[in-house]
Chain A
């Protein structure tokens, strides 16, 4: 299961990463080796086995629908890269 350079770039784009051209080969090799390792699983027969997502298999706990969080906007925004009038600033998205 060897990945080609285009696949490396495509996967990186999915997760908003950019792999520099001089690093593509290293990623290609490492990711292909990892996929080869995990492929021993794909040939293993698992029909009719229920997937296990949470090891303790508890149901999601519900709580009363009451406001519990206090507003800490100023505190949280004090560590943001850029804010203005209570908003997080990013480059213009809609023209």
Chain B
């Protein structure tokens, strides 16, 4: 079927073509029919969804509807949802019914959206393939033998299969952009501090940022309008005015300067990937943009710096998973040490354990300077590369991933190979910059993502550039066969 967008649903709800209850029932039916094979949902909240849809329809009848009132979405399972299982794809939280809503969830509820449930993900968002979930791997709707990407694989797969028109997601090292690329979608990770992290289960707090996966830049703008803004509950939330992200979508791109980092187009890059990205850049030139080669000279440091910082912060954040206040507890602990060790060892998966151990090692006495401090020094150099680049260009473009979606079981036993696949995405998290992935082509029937990187708090410019591309191309309209 053709992709169903949020903008279209919003229009049809407003015109009365269908009600929220009707469109919600349609999507719930599609989930029942198709999600067994894809495994994108961990929890489907049918009853609550229909109640929310009914309330949305009443709100509309009373003349109080906002743009997104009655639009069905779903949340990644690391967003706390009051009264609904929030497992983070882990056995450790497989009994954790959150006692409150994340700020972002609260904002969507206030806007009148309908949540259809919670989406599968790599355990605690630590992964790039959505294979490490306690609830099983997510399949890519374009090829069920391949991964949907990660960690927001459930968000991407559900949107690609048209089980929902848009999903929340989170991005610590590429977890929005990479699955969006693998599934042929639009994904945006806003600037660090733009969207509240409160109530989103923390993985690496200085890198985590909430965002969305949708079919189009216009839909991403509509969702970001709801979720962005200052939150006093998040100490790193920025006190900045939030623009209307849809306002600039139709601006022309004449005079826009796009930087192409030479380090992202090295001889190692797969020629087909290189071609697809170059073709996309040519579209931008046709739209009036100027292209300039730039350099991000510390790009070779991003993977080790990211790995150390994310693992160190992970080991600190994961210490709360102790079997005492919530979550999984082992049977018959003999003493407090046994309670901690067995609850954690039985409740956590091997990828999470590896990262906790590397993080503890990097933070331990005698290694702190060589690892953690060094990684933070490299982080400054990586950030400065971007700061310098943005003196010359408006946005930066490049690939999202070195390859299209890889096969299941191809990399999940080799953490280094998995980490190297994130080479183009992690730098933005280290620098805190906003980044997007938009579908810009196919290689052997698998989608290719174009990454657009913006300067701090310039999400509107990114969305404008993405929207203009989507006015002259039709990659974002393509959907997987049979879905």
Contact = CB atoms under 8 A, between A and B. Distances in A.
Contacts, number: 168
Interface string A40-79: 1110101001111111101011010000000010011011
B413 to A, nearest CB: 8
B360 A14 contact: yes
A42 B371 CA distance: 7
Given A11-B361, A90-B336, A37 B99 contact: no
A44 B362 CA distance: 16
Contact of A81 (B329, B364, B380): B329
A17 B335 CA distance: 15
B44 interface: no
B323 A81 contact: yes
Interface string B290-301: 000000000011
* Most chain B Cβ neighbours within 10 Å, of A38, A53, A54: A38
B432 A17 contact: no
Contact of B325 (A33, A42, A63, A88): A88
B30 interface: no
A6 interface: no
Contacts of B95: 79
Contact of A17 (B348, B374, B433): B348
A10 B108 CA distance: 45
A27 B357 contact: yes
Contact of B333 (A38, A75, A91): A91
Contact of B416 (A16, A34, A93): A34
Contact of A91 (B338, B370, B431): B338
Chain B facing A: main interface SS: helix
A51 B307 contact: no
Given A49-B381, A50-B380, A88-B325, A16 B354 contact: no
B463 to A, nearest CB: 20
Interface string A6-44: 001001101111110001000100110111111111101
A82 interface: yes
Contacts of A44: 301, 374, 378
B434 to A, nearest CB: 11
A50 B341 contact: no
B336 A56 contact: no
Contact of A52 (B334, B362, B379): B379
Contacts of B329: 81-82
A19 B360 CA distance: 15
Contact of A56 (B193, B339, B430): B193
A33 B420 CA distance: 12
Interface in B294-332: 300-301, 303-305, 307-308, 315, 318-319, 322-329
B376 A51 contact: yes
A51 B416 contact: no
A56 B358 contact: no
B96 interface: yes
A38 B300 CA distance: 11
Interface stretch (B58-66, B113-121, B232-240): B232-240
Contact of A60 (B235, B238, B344): B235
B336 A55 contact: no
Interface in B97-140: 97, 99
B325 A76 contact: yes
A16 B336 contact: no
B375 interface: yes
B345 interface: yes
Nearest to B357: A11
Contact of B99 (A19, A75, A82): A75
B342 A49 contact: no
B307 A31 contact: no
B313 to A, nearest CB: 10
9 contacts: A14-B360, A15-B360, A41-B304, A41-B308, A53-B206, A55-B192, A56-B432, A76-B325, A91-B338
Interface of A: 8, 11-12, 14-19, 23, 27, 30-31, 33-42, 44, 46, 49-56, 58, 60-61, 63, 72, 75-76, 78-82, 88, 90-93
Interface of B: 95-97, 99, 191-193, 206, 232, 235-236, 238-239, 300-301, 303-305, 307-308, 315, 318-319, 322-329, 333-342, 344-345, 348, 350, 353-354, 356-358, 360-362, 364, 370-371, 373-381, 383, 414-416, 419, 429-433, 456
Given A17-B344, A50-B377, A79-B95, 9 more contacts: A15-B344, A16-B341, A27-B354, A34-B354, A53-B376, A55-B431, A75-B99, A79-B96, A91-B339
